[in-house]
A and B are shown apart, each in its own frame.
Chain A
Amino acid sequence: MTNLFVAYVATYFLPLLFLSWRVAVIGLGLQGVLLAMLLAAHHGEWSWSGALELASLLAIRAVFVPWYLYHLMHDHDLAEDFALISKNLAQWMFAFLLLVIAFSFGVSMSPDDPEEALQVGTATGSILVAMLILANQRHPLGQIIALLNFEGGVTLVELLSPHAVPPLVGVGISLTFVVFVLTCGPYLRRHAWMTARAEDQPDGSDL
């Protein structure tokens, strides 16, 4: 389990250092694979709800999300050195400091259970790094990557829970995630508008 958590931290931290949106999107896909592996390791016994959650993690987070984002973005002329946070040592040190804070928080929440402390630290780190990206980003793709990192952190917290959610609610949560990703699509297609400072188009009818 420890290796899986370390790998998960790498999927959201390393894209901060690589200046490429493709690396960040691949990182999101890997997060889906790692979440599925963590779920399989966490809930050892086979159950329908567990199997459904595993399948949805693999299908939605590991396959659909990276494919959809890549499909939307590969025609756009994004800068080659697309950085999730500002390219300077101070920002990278700050991101590292956030990780230290996240793992200290994990230890304070679960002092007697090192594995749970690691899980809480990994999830908190994912959420804090997502906030850092949001604070730095003006481009919708970067903001979507931040939101997906945030959602990944939330899913990690969900794995903390000693029970599986009822299958119906589980399906609802997965559906919500898919709808969220699909909702981001139209915004990403109009990303030139999103970063425009002036009003590019007159307002339409006041419905």
Chain B
Amino acid sequence: MIALWCAAVPLIGLGLLGFAPFRGRAALAVLLAATGVEAALAAGLAWQHVPGETAYALGHYLVLDASSILFLALISVVFLGVAIYVRHRLAVGLLPGAFEGFVARSLIFFASCVLAVLSNHLLAMWVFLELGTFAIAPLIFYARGATALQASWKYLLFSVIGLGLNLVGLLCLARAIGGAHGHHEVTFFIDDLQHLATLGDPKWWKLGLALMVFGLGTKLGLAPMYAWLPDAYDESPASVTTMLSAVQFNCVLLALFREISLFRSFDADLIIDELLVMGTLSIAVATLHIVKATNYKRLIAYASINHAGTIALGLSMGKAAGYGVVIYVVSNAVVKAMLFMTSGNLNAHYGTKQMSALRGVIRTMPFNGWVFMLGAFALLGFAPFGSFLGEMIMLSNMVERTYLPVFFFTGFALTIILVASGRSLFPMIWGDSPDAPARVPDSFGSIAANVFYVAVLLSLGVYTPAPLAALFREVGATLGGR
């Protein structure tokens, strides 16, 4: 029943927006209410989850297991932060007049993401990921110019290709199973697939697996199909960048978790090499771009490619690094949400995204400066944040599994990223400016959600409450197959 409510909340919000005359601030109130109720439901589920317990709804189409609960809580909390951020922008008069279209598309996107996370059917999950993509693509150029339109189109092209390849992969899997089971009805229900005796013809399902990983890797911004990500993240409004990087990214990641978990139920050592190659390539590409980045939003976008690469490396380690991967994923979502929303505030005040033009942000905009500084530390993997703990667990697993070349490469790349990012970001935060601008009214409302995110990041690194730690462990354990 609770799964149905979780699925229904954003749809009810959408219905209210569509059929009742909610305009202006009232439309935004609907978005806030829907995301708030969803976040409360998901947080309650995460806190009260009994390890191993799974609930189904709508004839097994919806599932509430550890993975769906964790990701539902994560995307709901981030989306609530986005809604609070947009409300603040409205309050300070930084929104264009008619923004109901923005709110409606955001709700469609949110509903698609929630349904994708709750889906127990691989094709249904694919449909919702695709619908979410079409809902958010036009928001990338909302009230913007030609370069944002081009970035949005690039995002759409790569997404359609990536999700298309993922669908071909799923169909190859169906062909493999259909051939093995005498042309009987083939199921796409995840729990049914995990209980099959065999996946059938290995030629077909291995092709399917390769296409699925490559397709979802494209949506995650993993190299070599990452070209859309820096442009889309940089050109989008800050709230949309947050939705792309911390909400959609995690929905796609859950799809990848589900698919990897399914295949590893049959062979625990599958796709290690592919993930290692995609992961190291992504980290290498991100490092090169970060070294020459001059725009702070683009730098965070390249850091996102680095994060995706690190997660791919963690996934290649299997079940042993599972807990670290999950902590890293949660921290990563929160860090990106913090930094992208703060970068929107900075851009609104300074009118530029060039790092060289900003000096002493912590003095000019103390609230935003502090959040940006803490976010930058977490981005760079400093202790005591959750990203540090997650990275340490993954790196120690690399050593344990004697992937020493990968370990040394990752360590080397992270050091270069630390130096290059520090060189660019630290003067921006603390640097002296000869013509120092006066301190500007920097309201707490602009960072209200970010304060909560800082608390989450610290909690993940220092003390994770027992129910959440159990949930992370359960999700991490599924990464090696059931």
**Contacting chain B: which of A20-28, A76-84, A95-103, A175-183?**
A175-183
Which segment, of A4-12, A34-42, A57-65, A199-207, faces chain B?
A199-207
Which of A153, A154, A176, A207 gathers most chain B CB within 10 Å? A207
Question: How would you classify the secondary structure of chain A's contact residues: helix, strand, loop or mixed?
Answer: helix
Q: How far is the CA of A205 from the CA of B131 in the complex (A)?
A: 26
Among the interface residues B142, B160, B188, which one has the most CB atoms of the partner chain A within 10 A?
B160
For A206, what are the chain B residues with a Cβ–Cβ distance below 8 Å? 94, 237-238, 344, 347-348
| Chain B CB within 8 A of A72 CB | no
In the complex formed, the residue of A with least CB distance to B130 is A176
User: Are the C-beta atoms of B137 and A183 separated by less than 8 Å?
Assistant: yes
Cβ-neighbour of A205 out of B94, B146, B168 (below 8 A): B94
Shortest Cβ distance from residue B358 to the other chain A in the assembled complex, whole angstroms: 15
Contact A199 B146 (CB under 8 A): yes
Does B147 lie within 8 Å of A157, measured CB to CB? no
Q: Is the CB of B164 within 8 A of A207?
A: no
CB pair A150 B164 closer than 8 Å? yes
> How many residues of A are counted as interface, with CB atoms below 8 angstroms from the partner's CB atoms?
43
A90 CB–B CB distance under 8 Å: no
Chain B residue with Cβ nearest A109: B203
Distance of A109 Cα from B131 Cα, bound (Å): 32
Q: Which of B153-200 contact A (CB under 8 A)?
A: 153, 156-157, 160-161, 164, 167-168, 171-172, 174-175, 178-179, 183-186, 188
List residues of B whose CB falls within 8 A of some A CB.
61, 86, 89, 94-96, 99, 102, 121, 123-124, 127, 130-131, 134, 137-138, 142-150, 152-153, 156-157, 160-161, 164, 167-168, 171-172, 174-175, 178-179, 183-186, 188, 203-204, 207, 237-240, 344, 347-348
Using a CB–CB cutoff of 8 Å, the interface residues on chain A facing chain B are 109, 127, 134, 140, 143, 147, 150-151, 153-154, 157-158, 160-163, 165, 168-169, 172-173, 175-176, 179-180, 183-184, 186-187, 190, 193-194, 196, 198-207
Sampled A-B contacts (28; CB under 8 Å): A109-B203, A134-B157, A140-B153, A147-B157, A147-B160, A147-B161, A150-B164, A151-B160, A154-B167, A161-B171, A162-B179, A162-B184, A169-B121, A172-B123, A172-B124, A176-B134, A190-B149, A193-B146, A194-B149, A194-B153, A202-B145, A205-B348, A206-B238, A206-B347, A207-B86, A207-B96, A207-B143, A207-B344
